[in-house]
Amino acid sequence: MTGIDRLDVMDLAARRGGRPVFHGVSFTLEQGGALRLAGRNGGGKTTLLRILAGLGRADRGVVRWNGEPIGDDREAHAARLGWLGHADALKPALSARENLQAALRIADRPVAGLDDALDALGLGSLADLPASWLSSGQRRRVALARVLAGAAPLWLLDEPTVGLDAVSVVALERSIASHRADGGMVVAATHTALDLGSDTVSLDPAKHAGAIPEPTA
């Protein structure tokens, strides 16, 4: 990473199913920063995360990475993301290790960090079991390991702690801290007390709800 990476979000407005979800959302995240998306279900946390990933379209406003709108080059933006959605995106017929290998290769990323990522989340012994044998908490950890192994600068996590026990939550917090220390950014939607580290900004999209106002002039 040359210079300091910035994620700028300006005056973002979004709809879901034709209904306005939020408007006027703005924030800036710099290298090493973290943003917590808090608030009730249905408040727009997932919608906002998907827009940040380029998976969803904003009604208004723009998301910029180092000054460039992310919509200009979706593929380049995808390459800098570590995405964890609601679902784990694991294939039951493949083992944890095979799932990660496939995901990394499909995304054309180096497979080198795979074992370290699995160990960081305590999955070393489970790595070669079929994903269908794993509990939901274990599957969530495999999905998190995928994010770790991807070694991308911007992590977008949607409810990462679902199904995780206390030990695993601590492991996750440690991974996030390590990622931030290396200069990475984290945006996490969570209604738990997950500690994202110091200097974490908080944002509740539901506080920006209501009809999207017409643009002035």
Partner 1 sequence: MNGFLALIARDLRLARRQGADVAMTLAFFVVVVALFPLGLGPTPALLARIAGGVLWVTALLAAMLSFDRLFQQDADDGGLDLLALSGMPLVLVALAKAVAHWLTTGLPTVLLAPLLALTLDLPAAAYPALVTGLLLGTPTVSLLGTVGAALVVGARRAGVLVALIVLPLTIPVLIFGVAAVEAGGAGLPIQPHLTLLAALLAAAIPLAPLAAGAALRQAVE
Partner 2 sequence: MHRFANPTRFLRLANALLPWLTAAAVLLLASGLWLGLLRSPADYQQGETVRIMYVHVPAAWMAMAGYTTLALSSLAFLVWKHPLADLSARAASPIGAGFTAIALVTGALWGQPMWGTWWVWDARLTSVLVLLFLYLGHMALTNAFDDPERGGRAGAVLALVGVVNLPIIKFSVDWWNTLHQPASVLRLGGSTIDPAMMKPLFLMAGGYLAVFGIALILRIRALYAERRLRQLRLSLTDA
Q: Which of 106, 193, 211, 217 binds partner 1 (CB under 8 A)?
A: 106
**Of residues 27-56, those binding partner 1 (CB under 8 A):** 53-56
Q: Which window, 76-84, 89-97, 133-141, 209-217, contacts partner 2 (CB under 8 A)? A: 209-217
**What minimum distance in Å lies between the beta carbon of 207 and partner 2?**
15
Nearest partner of 208 among 25, 11, 5, judged by Cα: 25
Separation of alpha carbons 111 and 175, rounded Å: 18
Q: How do 154-158 and 185-189 pair as beta strands?
A: parallel
Asked whether position 186 contacts partner 1 by CB under 8 A, the answer is: no
Asked whether position 17 contacts partner 2 by CB under 8 A, the answer is: yes
Q: How many residues bind partner 2 (CB under 8 A)?
A: 7
E-strand ranges in 54-212 read 60-65, 68-69, 81-84, 154-158, 185-189, 200-203
Q: Which of 87, 166, 193, 211 binds partner 1 (CB under 8 A)?
A: 87
Asked whether position 88 contacts partner 1 by CB under 8 A, the answer is: yes
Edge-to-edge strand ranges of the sheet holding 6-16: 19-30, 6-16, 60-65, 68-69
Closest to partner 2 by CB, 110 or 210 = 210
Separation of alpha carbons 74 and 88, rounded Å: 22
**What minimum distance in Å lies between the beta carbon of 160 and partner 1?**
13
Asked whether position 18 contacts partner 2 by CB under 8 A, the answer is: yes
Collect all residues with Cβ–Cβ distance below 8 Å to 98 and sequence separation of at least 6.
none
* Cβ-count burial 199-217 (b if 16+ within 10 Å, e if not): ebeebbbbebbeebeeeee
Token pair, residue 40, equals 């009730």
**What minimum distance in Å lies between the beta carbon of 70 and partner 1?**
12
Q: Which residues bind partner 2 (CB under 8 A)?
A: 17-19, 210-212, 214
* Binding positions for partner 1, rule: CB under 8 A: 53-57, 75-76, 78-79, 81, 83, 85-91, 93-94, 98, 102-103, 105-108
